[in-house]
């Protein structure tokens, strides 16, 4: 074991939540930001459509709150939603002050419409590169603080506990490729989501849910893991990645057509293409099953070509690489795993059930999204709750700590720390086929059994984390015998408010099996 590293505060993740948390922590001591790839590689960079905020003259806080509650299908925590919406404008204006360049129309901020929003309240940057611009501006702002240090290509493995308190993490040292420990007075997890659990996803390769699994293993309460949002429209072209085709295209007038060229969404929902994401994804799923097709088409050809090119430059140029001109051609699309509403349970200050451990962004279940995230609320959540988690960690951290020995199993051969390729492929196939857009008890039970068999093999920590996360999603989905928001059970197709207007909670116990380091 190599000599451990010491810092005042540890931030794991360099997306919007992690960078904003680091900025809040910076005046209170040394901050080390660990990220498993480059500093600018995270889900934040792939967020196209925009960030929802009440800054438009015809909008009101109460409307954004209500839209969020409606999308969440009865499971949003209203206090958390109010914090998000009420504090959002302050943090957006602060971000603009520090250099974020959102698109404008004649000098005024330009807002667009997205599904299930009652007003045009979506800010965007460079057309369809909102997340990238926010990430750029936050990184530039964070570099003004000498107290913030960055450790890239440092994949975290486990939380280190001392008397039940989180005091550090183990990570892969990027130089030696050996497992190392870092200790701090408080830890903020901002590791993002787990879209890579699924065979088809809009998420980058780094989105493997490490922070969620680490927290579960450390005894943190996990909540609402069954709620996984599938984005309705990911590019579906042979040889192409499942590149996100933003909701904003439908907000600007794009329509969905089946293989026969027929517009089908009005048959499924009165809001047609602007129905909530879960409705649109399921509608596409059922339409493909009915027609025997593997994709549908998003049609933008009725819109002005110059407008489409200028409004969606990144999508336009990316689709051209795969011989699809979105101004002339219908775009082949199908749903893909996109966002986890569930995660580590936190309060409105980012506190988890493990002392010393705070979290923000997609790794959490903050109560903001409920059963179905409202479009473009995720970036706002990362910004607001990243700031709040960092501030709480700085305020509440003890002056000193007694450090603990890391889990022995994390200190293995250097080449053994990555997720096993075969395990990764097996888990992703099982999750897509049996724990996907439409679920049944038979499929979920089968998935839990298969995932359990994989978990019983001799696995390194990272592989075990990945499999375990899949099991948590499948187990929560089997337990919820209703359909609500993004969770749809074909054998229980109706919402059951009498029994299920409550959050699911999972805490590691003997039934969870032995994990590496136990």
For 442-495, give the DSSP string. Answer: HHHHHHHHHHHHHHTS---HHHHHHHHHHHHHHHHHHH--S-BTTB-BTTB-S-
Q: Does an H or E element contain 223, and which? A: strand 222-223
Q: Using one digit for the tens of pLDDT, what is the confidence trace for 66-88?
A: 999 999 999 999 999 999 999 99
Task: Give, for 248, the enclosing helix (H) or strand (E).
Answer: helix 247-251
Distance CA 300, CA 323 (A): 16
* Residues contacting residue 515 through CB under 8 Å, at least 6 positions apart: 217, 464, 468, 508
Q: What percent of the chain has pLDDT over 90?
A: 82
Terminal alpha carbon distance of the chain: 18
Contact residues for 429 (Cβ-Cβ < 8 A; gap 6+): 199
> Is the pLDDT at 195 greater than 90, yes or no?
yes
- Domain ranges in the chain are 5-193+341-396, 232-337
Q: What is the pLDDT of residue 380?
A: 96
Exposure string of 64-77, with b = 16+ CB inside 10 Å and e = fewer, is: bbebbbbbbbebbb
Is 518's pLDDT higher than 50?
no
Rounded alpha-carbon distances, angstroms, from residue 429 to 342, 400, 433, 471:
21, 46, 6, 13
Which run of H or of E encompasses 345?
A: strand 343-345
Quick check: 444 and 478 in contact, CB under 8 A? yes
**Tens digits of residue pLDDT in 352-403:** 999 999 999 999 999 999 999 998 999 999 999 999 999 999 999 999 887 8
CA dist 248 → 88, 232, 298, 444 (Å)? 20, 12, 12, 33
Residue with tokens 């988890």: 352
Q: Which residue has the higher pLDDT, 468 or 46?
A: 468
- Global pTM value: 0.92
Q: Residue 410's pLDDT is what?
A: 56
* Residue that is written with structure tokens 């499942």 in the block: 242
How confident is the model over 27-48, as a mean pLDDT?
Answer: 78
> Does domain 232-337 match CATH 3.40.50.280?
no
Q: What is the DSSP string of 17-60?
A: HHHHHHHHHGGGS-EEEE-SS-TT-SGGGG--S-EE-S-STT--
Give yes or no: 277 in active site. Answer: yes
Confidence grade of residue 1 (pLDDT, cut at 50, 70, 90): very low
Non-local CB neighbours of 137 within 8 Å, separated by 6+ positions:
95, 98, 99, 100, 101
Distance CA 270, CA 267 (A): 8
Q: Tell me the pLDDT band of 102, cut-offs 50, 70 and 90.
A: very high
Look over the chain and give the mean of its residue pLDDT values, rounded to a whole number.
92
CB count within 10 Å of CB 293 equals 16
What does the pLDDT read at residue 48?
56
Share of the chain above pLDDT 70, in %: 94
265 contacts 279 by C-beta, under 8 angstroms: no
> What element of type H or E holds 333?
strand 331-340
User: Catalytic pick from 20, 121, 277, 489?
Assistant: 277
C-alpha distances in angstroms, 333 versus 195, 246, 394, 453, 515? 18, 11, 45, 34, 39
pLDDT of res. 31: 98
Strand partners, 92: none
CATH architecture of 5-193+341-396: 3-Layer(bba) Sandwich (3.50)
Q: Is 323 exposed, middle or buried (0-12, 13-18, 19+ CB in 10 A)?
A: exposed
Q: At what angle do helices 130-142 and 78-97 cross, to 10 degrees?
A: 70
Residues in Cβ contact with 280 at an 8 Å cutoff, skipping those fewer than 6 apart: 115, 232, 233, 250, 256, 265, 269, 273
For the residues of 160-174, what is the DSSP string, one character each? EEETTEEEEEEEE-T
């Amino acid at each position: 074991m190599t000599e451990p590293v010491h810092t005042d505060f540890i931030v794991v993740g360099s997306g919007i939540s992690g960078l904003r948390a680091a900025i809040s922590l910076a005046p209170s001591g040394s901050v080390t930001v660990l990220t498993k790839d480059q500093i600018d590689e995270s889900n934040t960079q792939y967020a196209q459509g925009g960030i929802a905020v009440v800054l438009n003259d015809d909008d009101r806080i109460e409307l954004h709150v209500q839209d969020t509650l409606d999308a969440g299908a009865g499971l949003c925590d209203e206090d958390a939603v109010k914090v998000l919406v009420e504090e959002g404008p302050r943090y957006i204006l602060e971000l603009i002050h520090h250099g974020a360049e959102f698109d404008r129309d004649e000098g005024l901020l330009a807002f667009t419409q997205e599904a299930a929003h009652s007003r045009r309240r979506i800010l965007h940057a460079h057309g369809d590169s909102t997340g990238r611009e926010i990430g750029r501006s936050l990184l530039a702002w964070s570099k003004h603080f000498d107290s913030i240090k960055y450790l890239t290509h440092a994949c975290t493995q486990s939380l280190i506990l001392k008397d039940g308190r989180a005091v550090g993490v183990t990570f892969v040292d990027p130089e030696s490729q050996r497992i190392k420990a870092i200790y701090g007075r408080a830890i903020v997890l901002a590791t993002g989501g787990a879209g890579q659990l699924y065979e088809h996803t809009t998420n980058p390769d780094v989105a493997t849910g490490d922070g969620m699994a680490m927290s579960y293993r450390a005894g943190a309460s996990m909540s609402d893991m069954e709620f996984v949002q599938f984005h309705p429209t990911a590019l579906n072209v042979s040889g192409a990645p499942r590149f996100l085709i933003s909701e904003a295209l439908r907000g600007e007038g794009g329509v969905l057509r089946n293989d026969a060229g027929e517009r089908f969404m009005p048959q499924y929902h009165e809001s047609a293409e602007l129905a909530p994401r879960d409705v649109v994804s399921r509608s596409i799923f059922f339409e493909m099953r009915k027609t025997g097709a593997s994709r549908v088409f998003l049609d933008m050809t009725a819109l002005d070509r110059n407008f489409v090119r200028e409004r969606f430059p990144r999508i336009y140029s990316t689709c051209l690489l795969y011989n699809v001109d979105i101004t002339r051609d219908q775009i082949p699309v199908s749903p893909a795993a996109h966002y986890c509403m569930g995660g580590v349970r936190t309060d409105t200050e980012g506190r988890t059930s493990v002392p010393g451990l705070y979290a923000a962004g997609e790794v959490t279940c903050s109560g903001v999204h409920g059963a179905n995230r409202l479009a473009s609320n995720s970036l706002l959540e990362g910004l607001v709750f990243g700031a709040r988690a960092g501030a709480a960690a700085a305020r509440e951290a003890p002056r000193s700590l007694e450090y603990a020995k890391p889990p022995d199993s994390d200190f293995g051969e250097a080449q053994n720390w990555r997720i096993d390729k075969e395990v990764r492929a097996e888990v992703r196939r099982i999750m897509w086929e049996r724990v996907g857009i439409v679920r049944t008890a038979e499929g979920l039970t089968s998935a839990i059994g298969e995932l359990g068999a994989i978990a019983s093999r001799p696995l390194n920590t990272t592989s075990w984390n990945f499999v375990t996360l899949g099991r948590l999603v499948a187990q929560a989905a089997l337990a919820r015998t209703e359909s609500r928001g993004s969770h749809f059970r074909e054998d229980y197709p109706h919402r059951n408010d009498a029994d299920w207007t409550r959050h699911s909670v999972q805490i590691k116990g003997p039934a969870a099996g032995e994990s590496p380091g136990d």
